[in-house]
Structure 1
C-alpha cells in the first residue's frame, strides 16, 4: 500500500448526531432503499490529500456525505450504486487497514473506516450476495480480502433473488419499487412457458401507461438481462429506446440461456438497438447450440431508416440458427429486398414458420422477391401481408405453384386491406379446395367491396373441402374466418349463412363479422346457420345494429320484427355447439342491438345447456331491463366467467339488482368497473354518490370472492385457464378484453380500486338540464 494515511485521523466524538440521523431519514424517505450502516471515515482523494466523510452503506448503494460547514448541513458527495461495483480490495499496513472500492467508469472510493473496516466489508459482501441475479455471470464484483474476513451468506430462493435484483434495478434508475410487479414476476416464473409481459406487470388493468412507467420498464429489463427464468419477454408501448433494447438482446449472451421469444413492439427501436442483436448473435458462433432465440417481434417501430434495415439484415445473417417467427408489422419498411434475400437462404426457407410484414408498403421489386420466395419456402405456416398494397394475385399464384406448402403446411393467411379481384378470389378458392392444413383466413376491408359471387368463390370450396368436412379426418382442425369491416348487408350476409348451413359438420373455431352492417334478416340467417353447426368456439358480431333496414320495416310482420334474430341466438346458446365466447358490443349509438335480442341472449345463459363463458353486450343502451335479465340469470349460471356490460345506461336500481344476484353467483370472475354508466349517474343533479359506491364496492367483493375460490382450488394460473387468449391487432376491444381475461385477483382488485377512486374524484354536476337516457333510480 503506497498511501501514507495520516495518524489520529478521526476524532473521539465521531458518533452520528441526532441532526445527522434526521438528515439520513429525509435522504432515504423518497428512495426504495434503506441505510444499513453509517460511519465517519477518512477518504483519500489523491496524492497526499485526505478529507473527512460520512460513509453510508445502504441496501443498494455506497454514499459519502460532506460534513456540514458553519451553520450548514450535510451534503451528498458521492452516490454510487452497487450495480456499478467491480471490486472491493482491502489494503493492510502496519498502521492502517483501508478499503478500495472500484466502480465502473474508473471511479474509486478509497477510505479508511478505522476499527470498523471489517464490518463495512462484510456488510457489502452480504448485500452483493443477495444481489447476485443483478450482475452478469462474468461481471460480479470481486473481493480481495484477508481469508478470515469472508462473510457467511445464507442462500435465497430463485424468486427472492429475482425480487432483490428488481429492487436494486429500481433504485439504480431512481424509480419507486413496486411490490405488485414483484408479485407478478414470481407468479410468471411458475407458468409454462414463463412469460415476462411488461404491459401486464407494469400497467396492469390501466388503459394507458404513465411517463414514469418507462423507468420501471428499464429497471425490469435490467433485472431480466441476467436472469435465466423466463422463456419469453414481451415489451409493448414503452419508449425504452436503444438502451433498453440492448439490454433485452444482451439476455441472449449469457451461458445456457432459455429465452426463446422476444417482443419489442412500439419501443422506438433503431439502428443502435439492432446492432446489439447482431453482437449477441456473434457471441454464440462458437457454441451455436446455445442460441435459443426462435421468435422475434419488432412490430410497430415505425419509420425505420435504411440504416436500421441494414442493421436488422446484418443481425439476421449473424444468427447461428434461423428464426421460426419474424414479425415486422407496422414498421414502414421501404427497403425489403435485403430482408427477402436473407429469407431466401436455404436454412431460413426450411425453418421460418411465421412471417408478418403487414402494413409495410411493397413495391414491384419487393413483390417479385417475396413471391419468388413463397414459391420455394417449405414450412411456412402463418403469412400476414395485410395493408401492404401487394399484388394479391401474384401471392396466390406463388402459393399455388408451391403445392407442398399450401396443401400440408400453410395454416393462416391475412390479406386484409388489399385489393382482391375476382381472378384472385378464383385462384384462392382453387387453393382452399385441396388444402389439408389451411384453417385461418382473414379478409378484412378488402377492395373492391366483397361481392356475393366473390365470397362464394372463396368460401364454398373451403367449406366443402372433404378433409375438413369429414370429422374423422379433421379431429384437430377447426376453421377461423374474419370478414370484419366488409359490407355484407346487400345479400352477402345471407349468402354467408347459406354457405355455413351447407357444411354443418365442419368444425369451426372463430367467426368474426364485426362492422359488417348486418341487419335483422342477414343477422338472423347467420345465427340460424351457426346454430346448425356441430361446433363453434367464438362468435364476434360487434358494431352490427341488428335492427331491420328502413325498407324492411314496411314489409315485415310485427311478430317477425319483435323476435328475429333473438330466437336464433337462443338456439345457438342452448344447442350443443360448445360456444364459449359471444361478443355483441357496440361503440356507436346508431348500431345498438335491440332490447329483445339482448334479453333473449342473456336469458339463455340460465339454461342448463349453455356453455358460454364470455359475454360482451356493452354499449347497447339497454337500460335497467338488461340489468334485470343479468340479475335473473347470475344465480342460475355456473359457466359464465366474464361479463362486459358497461354502457347500457344502468341506474342505481339496476346496479342493486346485479349486486344482490352476484352474492348468489360463484362462477363470474371477470367484470370491469362500469365506468360509463357510473359517470353518467354522477353527472346528474342528485347522484346518490354514497349509495352508488357502496353498491359498486359490494359487487367487487363478490367477484373477488369468486376469484379467490378458484385460485384456492386451481392455483394462480387457473383462474381463466380454459380461455383461449387471442391477441388481435385490429380490434382494440379484443386487446382490452385480453388483458382482463388474463388478470388475477390482485389485478382485478387494483383495477376496481383505481376505477372507483377516479370516479369518486368526479365533482358533483351543477347542470340542471341533464337528460337521462333511462329511468331514474
Structure 2
C-alpha cells in the first residue's frame, strides 16, 4: 500500500476501515474533484486490484462512488495537474493537490499508477485495447500508457496468460463469486496440456452466472485461442458474453458452439460482432447441430466475405440448411479472396442440398487449399460434384465424405469422365467415404480404375459399405481391386455380395497394399451353403505370407460355428494386430478355440469379442490363455 499525498493518519485508518480488510489497497491520493462550474472539493482516490474508489476527505470517511477498471472508456489529461477518467456512466475530472512541480502531486504519477494497476490484470495486452480513448497532451506525456514504457515481463504474467487474475477481475465485474476450482483447473490442467481452447463442458456443473465470468475472462487473454461449448444449454447472459468477447477480442481464433439449440437470430448477432471487431482473429467457426436454417447462413455470409485473414475451418453440419442458404454462403466464400488460400476444412453434412448449388460448385472449382470436405447425407447429385472437385480440389483434398448421396444418372447414360479423372489425378486423397450411395456399376468401375491409375497418392482408406453392390458389384471388385495399389484400408461391409464374396476375397489377397479390411454384416443373410467357401477364402487370405493384413473387422455376421476354422487359423497368423469378431455368437466352443490360438499367436494386440454368447467358462479359458500371451493389450 502506498500513500502519495497528504492523508492524515486518522483519514488513512478510516479509509482502510470502510473498505474492509479483504480489500487490498494499491495506492491512495488526496485529489480535488471538479464539481459544478469551477468549484472543486477534496476527495480520496483509491486504486484497488480491480476497482477505483472515490471517498470523502473527512473522518469518518464514506464511499461516494466506485467503478470497475473495465468501466473506464477514456482517460484525458491536457495539463500535468489535471486529468479526467471517463466511465460508462459519467466523467470524473480531477485536479491534483499541491503545485505541478511536486512529484507526488503530478497527474502523470496518478495515471501511471492507474495504468500499472490495469496491467497487473492484463499484462500481455496493450492498454489502448482496454481503454479505447486515451488523450494525453502534450504528446511526450503519452508514454504513460505506452507499451515501451511498461513492457510485460513473461515471468510475471502467470499461468495461461494470467487467466486467474482476469477471471477474478470478471467475477467482480459481473458480481459473481470467485471459484477457486476454476482457477485451479485452468492453471494446472490446461497449462500442463498446453490446451489453448477453453471448453465450457469442463465447468458445466457450475451456475450459469459462473460461466458468464469464465467466458468474459477470454476478452483480453492472449493464451487461449478458442472457446468450445457442445451439447449443453447456455443462458442468454452467457451467450451475450460470448458475442461481446467475439466483438472485442483480437486473439480468439476458434469458436466451437455445437448442439446448443442456437437459432438464426443468434447468427445475426454473431455476424454483427465479427463485423464490428476492427481486427477479428476468428479463423474457425463450428456451429454444427444448431438449426440456424437459411436465415442464419445468410447472416453468416456477411462476416465470411469480410474476414480479412480468411477462415480455416467452417463446420455447419446438420444445421437445417437448404441450397438457398448454402449458395449464399458459398458466394461469400468465393468473394473473399483470402479464403481460397486459407479454408482447409468445410463440413456441410446433414443439410438438404438437393436443389441447384451452383455457387458451391463454383467455389469448389476454383483453386483452393481444402483438405477436408464433408457433404454426407446432403442429397447432392454426385456426378455434378466431381467436375468441380477435379478443377479445384485435386491438389490438397485429403478427406472426402460424400456418403449417403446418389447418382441421378439414368440407365444407359454414362458417368461423366470427370468422375474417373478426379481419382486418377488427386494428389493427396487419404480418406474416401462413398458408402450408402447405391453406386452404379459403371461408377464403381470408374472409381477403381481411376485409383488404379493414380501414381501420386498412397495409404488410402476407401469405404464402399452399404452400396448394395450384389453379384454384379462383386464381379467389378474381383476384376479391379487387385490393381488398386493406393489402397491401405478397404470397407466393403453390408453389400449383399453373397457367394461372390469368396472370389472377391481372393482378389483382395493379391493386393499387398491393403492392411485393413472391414467385412461387417457381409455374411448376414447369406445362404448356409455359401458360407463355407467364403470362410475358406478368408482363411486363405490371412494365411498368405505376401498379404500382411494388420486389421480385420468381421463383426455382426452371426457366423456361430462357421467362425471356428477361421479362429483356428489365427494361431499361425503373423500379421494381424487388431481383430473384431463381435456379434458372431461363437459360444464357449469358439472361445476355447480362441484361447488355444492365443497361446500360439504373438502378434495380436487387440480383440473385440462382445455379443458372442460366451459364458464364464469360455472367458475362463481365454483368461488362462492370456496368462501365457504377452502381446495382447
**Shorter-chain TM-score: what band?**
0.5 to 0.7
Q: Please state if 1:408 is matched with 2:395.
A: yes
Measure the CA separation in 1 of the matches of 2:124 and 2:207. Answer: 20
CA shift, 1:375, in A, is 3.7
Contact 1:134–1:222 at 8 Å: present in 2 too?
no
Q: Deviations over 1:407-450 (max 9, x none)?
A: 5344454333333144473434442364142624332222xx43
Match of 2:476 among 480, 487, 495: 495
Q: Deviations over 1:442-500 (max 9, x none)?
A: 32222xx43434421x32332321x33xxxx54xx332322222213333234324321
Alignment of 1:65-84 (within 5 A): none
Q: Please name the residue that 2:533 is paired with.
A: 560
Q: Please state if 1:510 is matched with 2:507.
A: no
Q: Could you say which structure has the larger radius of gyration?
A: 2
Q: Please name the residue that 1:539 is paired with.
A: 517
Contact 2:123–2:162 at 8 Å: present in 1 too?
yes
Q: Please name the residue that 1:272 is paired with.
A: 266
Q: Deviations over 1:84-106 (max 9, x none)?
A: 99514374746346677646899
Q: Deviations over 1:485-522 (max 9, x none)?
A: 2213333234324321233xx13243233433454x34
Q: Please name the residue that 1:313 is paired with.
A: 301
Aligned to 2:357, what secondary structure does the other structure show? helix
Q: Please name the residue that 1:185 is paired with.
A: 190
Q: Please name the residue that 2:404 is paired with.
A: 417
Q: Please state if 1:237 is matched with 2:231.
A: yes
Cα 1:248–1:539 change in 2 (3 A) is farther
Measure the CA separation in 2 of the matches of 1:320 and 1:251. Answer: 19
Aligned to 1:263, what secondary structure does the other structure show? strand
Measure the CA separation in 1 of the matches of 2:302 and 2:236. Answer: 17
Match of 1:441 among 432, 435, 440: 432
Measure the CA separation in 1 of the matches of 2:465 and 2:207. Answer: 34
Alignment of 1:121-160 (within 5 A): 158=159
CA shift, 1:312, in A, is 0.8
Aligned to 1:395, what secondary structure does the other structure show? helix
Contact 1:545–1:592 at 8 Å: present in 2 too?
no
Cα 1:249–1:94 change in 2 (3 A) is closer
Aligned to 1:344, what secondary structure does the other structure show? helix
Measure the CA separation in 2 of the matches of 1:578 and 1:651. Answer: 30
Q: Please name the residue that 1:650 is paired with.
A: 614
Q: Please state if 1:343 is matched with 2:338.
A: no
Measure the CA separation in 1 of the matches of 2:598 and 2:124. Answer: 48
Cα 1:101–1:668 change in 2 (3 A) is farther
Alignment of 1:91-490 (within 5 A): 91=55, 93=57, 95-96=59-60, 102=67, 158=159, 172=176, 177=181, 184-189=189-194, 221=215, 226-231=220-225, 233-240=227-234, 244=238, 257=251, 260-270=253-263, 271-272=265-266, 275-276=269-270, 278-280=272-274, 282-285=276-279, 291-304=280-293, 306=295, 308-334=296-322, 335-336=324-325, 337-345=327-335, 347-348=337-338, 350-351=340-341, 352-362=343-353, 364=355, 366-399=356-389, 402=391, 405=392, 407-422=394-409, 423=413, 425-432=415-422, 434-437=424-427, 439=429, 440-446=431-437, 449-456=438-445, 458-465=446-453, 467-468=454-455, 473-474=456-457, 477-490=458-471
Measure the CA separation in 1 of the matches of 2:294 and 2:417. Answer: 36
Gaps of 5+ in 2: 1-9, 25-47, 72-87, 90-116, 132-154
The number of equivalent residue pairs is 519
Measure the CA separation in 2 of the matches of 1:97 and 1:507. Answer: 82
Contact 1:565–1:597 at 8 Å: present in 2 too?
no
Aligned to 1:609, what secondary structure does the other structure show? coil
CA shift, 1:617, in A, is 3.2
Measure the CA separation in 1 of the matches of 2:616 and 2:207. Answer: 36
Q: Deviations over 1:646-670 (max 9, x none)?
A: 333333334444555566666655x
Cα 1:616–1:98 change in 2 (3 A) is farther
Q: TM-score normalized by structure 1?
A: 0.55
RMSD: 5.0
Contact 2:377–2:402 at 8 Å: present in 1 too?
yes
Measure the CA separation in 1 of the matches of 2:124 and 2:566. Answer: 57
Q: Please name the residue that 1:693 is paired with.
A: none
Q: TM-score normalized by structure 2?
A: 0.65
Measure the CA separation in 1 of the matches of 2:562 and 2:240. Answer: 56
Contact 1:585–1:616 at 8 Å: present in 2 too?
yes
CA shift, 1:636, in A, is 6.9
Cα 1:433–1:585 change in 2 (3 A) is closer
Contact 1:213–1:238 at 8 Å: present in 2 too?
no
Q: Please name the residue that 2:575 is paired with.
A: 610
Q: Deviations over 1:611-655 (max 9, x none)?
A: 52x443333333334544665566777765554433333333344
Contact 1:384–1:415 at 8 Å: present in 2 too?
yes
Measure the CA separation in 1 of the matches of 2:357 and 2:192. Answer: 45
CA shift, 1:295, in A, is 3.1
Gaps of 5+ in 1: 1-6, 11-39, 44-54, 60-83, 108-126, 141-153, 203-209, 286-290, 670-777
Q: Please name the residue that 1:14 is paired with.
A: none
